[in-house]
Amino acid sequence: MRFGVNYTPSAGWFHSWLDFDPAAVRQDLEAIAGLGVDHIRLMPLWPHVQPNRGLIRPRALADVVTVVDLAADCGLDVNVDGLQGHLSSFDFVPAWLSSWHRRNMFTDPDVVASTADYLAALAGAVADRPNLLGVTLGNEVNQFAAAPHPFPHPVTEEGAGHWLARLTAAVRAEVRPSTLVTHAMYDAAWYDDTQPFGPAHAVAHGDQTIVHSWVFNGAAQAYGGLGAGSVRHAEYLCRLAAAWHTDATRPVWLQEVGAPTNVVREPDAADFLEATLRHVARIPELSGITWWCSHDVSRDLLDFPELEYDLGLITSTGKVKPTGVRFAETIAALRSPVAEEQPVGLVLDDTVPGHRASCGPAREFYRTWLHLAGDGPGPGPQIVLKSREHDTALLAARGIRVLKESH
């Protein structure tokens, strides 16, 4: 089990790439390492690295390499993300994809080719670093594909698959076979039937299935910040992701999870954190947990949603918060194996329209799952697709011996 954090620079947030300061980065990474984590997720801003479709800045790539090397000095592995994309309510897309130069990022052949070139250059720059954990195509890029994005880049499900295959191959060609190549989607992929990037894409592309869990999606509103439906949401979403696997050994990586104080009271954040981690860590196929995020956003920066200023484990001035202390204590306790087999599988009917929405956090399927999970610390049930409930070999490989229907 790996434990890490999404690295948000303490000074200047991700805008700090514009005024890159290795000394400040080293100070941040030393504080992160002090929490006992083994990796960070690193997110350079796409427009700063590729400001023109024909220009990939060598200096920007060198800065990324420097951070990877500084992380190695601190004993940290690094997963590098490419397309940022979308971060904390702000979009970061190059000028050659917006306004007068707007073209579809998923379907325009020239744009896709240039994007592949960028990802290949980024991956190639860090490929030989021994502490490179992996490369992710980008952060929740599927949010650009449909509503509620105000200016979506429409794409079909088939087109989304072609885009993922092309870009994943571009990265894979540059890195060692042992390097993880992944892609990340926000939870509309699992809960919204109108989202063109869906569960099949999550499990068919990349080396692991990536999950991002946020309880402001209706879970905390329905169950309360410390209710079972909130502290078990990450566990449930990882179970839901694994239901789509055709290979029972495919790992799931909880790459983003945090304690959003717009729905979790600040005094409860540390308890939410610990309960979430303890529940999700019991899933055998889980490869790691990467908390969002390392440092708070400074109040000097304006126009962020209020919750974004308080998601860090460490303040923007470098003080470890109560959530940071609890995180360090909890992951130290979870280093020993805690995974538990769960022989019960709850059947999700994936053969009917609207099946993605039917398993959302405020719907009956999730309530049934919570009921079967019970009030104790034990693992919640696995999830089985109805289309695969007669695949005895797959069920056996997953350790499922009892099927339960949802009503």
Can you tell me which residue has the tokens 């179970």? 239
Structure tokens at 210: 């990536």
Q: Is residue 72 part of a domain?
A: yes
Q: What is the domain-level CATH number for residue 239?
A: 3.20.20.80
End-to-end CA separation in angstroms for the chain = 35
Would you give per-residue pLDDT tens digits along the chain (407 residues)? 899 999 999 999 999 999 999 999 999 999 999 999 999 999 999 999 999 999 999 999 999 999 999 999 999 999 999 999 899 999 999 999 999 999 999 999 999 999 999 999 999 999 999 999 999 999 999 999 999 999 999 999 999 999 999 999 999 999 999 999 999 999 999 999 999 999 999 999 999 999 999 999 999 999 999 999 999 999 999 999 999 999 999 999 999 999 999 999 999 999 999 999 999 999 999 999 999 999 999 999 999 999 999 999 999 999 999 999 999 999 999 988 677 889 999 999 999 999 999 999 999 999 999 999 998 888 999 999 999 999 999 999 999 999 999 87
Q: What's the domain count of the chain?
A: 1
Q: Is residue 390 part of a domain?
A: no
Q: Is residue 200 part of a domain?
A: yes
Q: Is residue 381 part of a domain?
A: no
Provide DSSP, 166-191. Answer: HHHHHHHTTS-TTSEEE----THHHH
3-class secondary structure per residue, 312-340: CCECCCCCECHHHHHHHHHHHHHCCCCCC
Phi-psi region of 99 (alpha: psi -120 to 50; beta: other; left: phi over 0): left
In the beta sheet, which residues pair with residue 273? none
Cα separation, 109 vs 24, in Å, equals 39
pLDDT tens-digit series, residues 263-296: 999 999 999 999 999 999 999 999 999 999 999 9
Q: Is residue 353 part of a domain?
A: no
Q: Is residue 77 part of a domain?
A: yes
Residue 146 domain boundaries: 2-340
pLDDT tens-digit series, residues 336-360: 867 788 999 999 999 999 999 999 9
Q: Is residue 123 part of a domain?
A: yes
Q: Is residue 112 part of a domain?
A: yes
At 115, the amino acid letter reads T
Contact 53, 113 (CB under 8 A): no
Cα separation, 63 vs 58, in Å, equals 9
> Which residue, 72, 5, 85, 83, is CA-closest to 296?
5
> Which residue, 194, 245, 190, 195, is CA-closest to 214?
190
How high is the pLDDT of residue 337?
67
Q: Can you tell me whether residue 215 is helix, strand or coil?
A: helix
Cα separation, 100 vs 158, in Å, equals 27
Contact 306, 248 (CB under 8 A): no
- pTM higher than 0.75 for the full model? yes
> Which residue, 338, 339, 310, 307, is CA-closest to 324?
310
